[in-house]
Structure 1
């Protein structure tokens, strides 16, 4: 059986000795998984994932990355395996140009200069940053600045990517790039953790959802199961995508066989209601 790339063993995190942000969480994350981590603000989800690259250390319990206890490991050491894209790129970017920002990580890993340049150029092409390569990151708009933050982590090729609210503050164009990034990472076999309130994003791309509430892990299941559980979703004060809510109501009325996670998926579900055919068939 495949070993987990990240494992939490009864992890607690208590800020200042009095505020419990994560309480007794045990969790295994396997290579190649795409996982959404959801919960209301203050539920503990961001605190939890910051343990995976060493930004935080457990107050009690252990976090293992590739079987190694992260307790004595430094952030610099863990960053080669776990890349963290901050919700606010201003907490991440520091170089004077986009090019320099993208070169820093690979160069810091000790890669040959030709590999550093190759990774920089591939990231510039994928994220559409060519017009900005010589710009200062703080002189470009927030959506593009956030893409630079993602690109800077992408150049390091970590086995695990943590995306903290990747679509917050993004416009339609940059949101599409985020979707493409997650799909590409999936194709390349990376593990991706999305900490997000964007339920549409999660419904379309993740295979598993971890639900946090009041510092506790309260559910770990497939998106369809999570979104279909009204009591669970109600306890988090989060809403499923509109198409999921619509199909859930119709399913509860016995009019549909299953809940849809996306509009495209719903075409197959709705077709029998109207005697039609899916996938381009004639009604």
Structure 2
């Protein structure tokens, strides 16, 4: 599935501009992180990708078809959106019912739905919580319940809005497993996040936003080597990366192992 964004603009009813002419393309299955400070327009941008918001100006084409040609419900079959706040998404009496709801609307058989529940509930760590009311789950479990409910519909693209908020180490590891699963199954994961450690561990492709515009897009080495863009977008690289940059190491470091290797090489070259 290919999403083309052409001169996308979005204005609030008050007249303020949230998006100021975005041009980019999403294609393939390499996961993409969207980063930038609060108010950069990340969530507003992402909500246009499945029709939750509609452009004030510009075009969004999905496999060549304008997003304006169909309803959000239609596009949700192909592009799933997981909200930052799970309470805005959960509405049924049990985790199982949350998981069943989307596939039922798609017309899947009971057998297909049960097979998906078996796999997805294990993937998101809720296999033994299917009879639990979603609002009796803790914050981490709620987040995985919303992710699971979207995965149950098997969209081609899934958008995660700040999935690491409130997550512990185990939760981040589970998220990484889910992102890897999507990539290996030819599904594109687009993630909005402020967690730069999580970004460099799980995403090679990054989009940097500021004030409703894309300042830079590219692989993580290009993005985090561009100090000017990071300053303009108020994005701080991971701590180990900043240490390497402060020491003016030739190569950028995203892990302790990389840092030690790059630092050792510089000593030997001195």
Greater shift in the superposed pair: 53-62 or 27-36:
27-36
Q: How do 1:1-283 and structure 2 match up within 5 A?
A: 5-16=2-13, 18-250=15-247, 252=248, 256-273=249-266
Unaligned runs of 5+ in 1: 276-283
Q: Tell me the CA shift for residue 67 of structure 1.
A: 1.7
Greater shift in the superposed pair: 73-82 or 221-230:
221-230
Over aligned residues, Cα RMSD in angstroms? 1.5
CA contact (8 A) 2:125 2:144 kept: no
Count of matched residue positions in the alignment of Structure 1 and Structure 2: 268
TM-score w.r.t. structure 1 length?
0.90
CA contact (8 A) 1:14 1:59 kept: yes
Distance 2:240 2:256 in 1: 6
CA contact (8 A) 1:199 1:239 kept: yes
Unaligned runs of 5+ in 2: none
CA deviation map 1:221-269 (0-9, x unaligned): 211121121111111122100111112223x2xxx33101233443443
SS at structure 2 position matched to 1:104:
helix
Distance 2:257 2:200 in 1: 12
Bigger RCO of structures 1 and 2 (CA < 8 A, at least 6 apart): 2
Distance 2:112 2:16 in 1: 45
CA deviation map 1:29-70 (0-9, x unaligned): 112121111111111111011011110000001111122100
Distance 2:251 2:56 in 1: 42
TM-score w.r.t. structure 2 length?
0.95
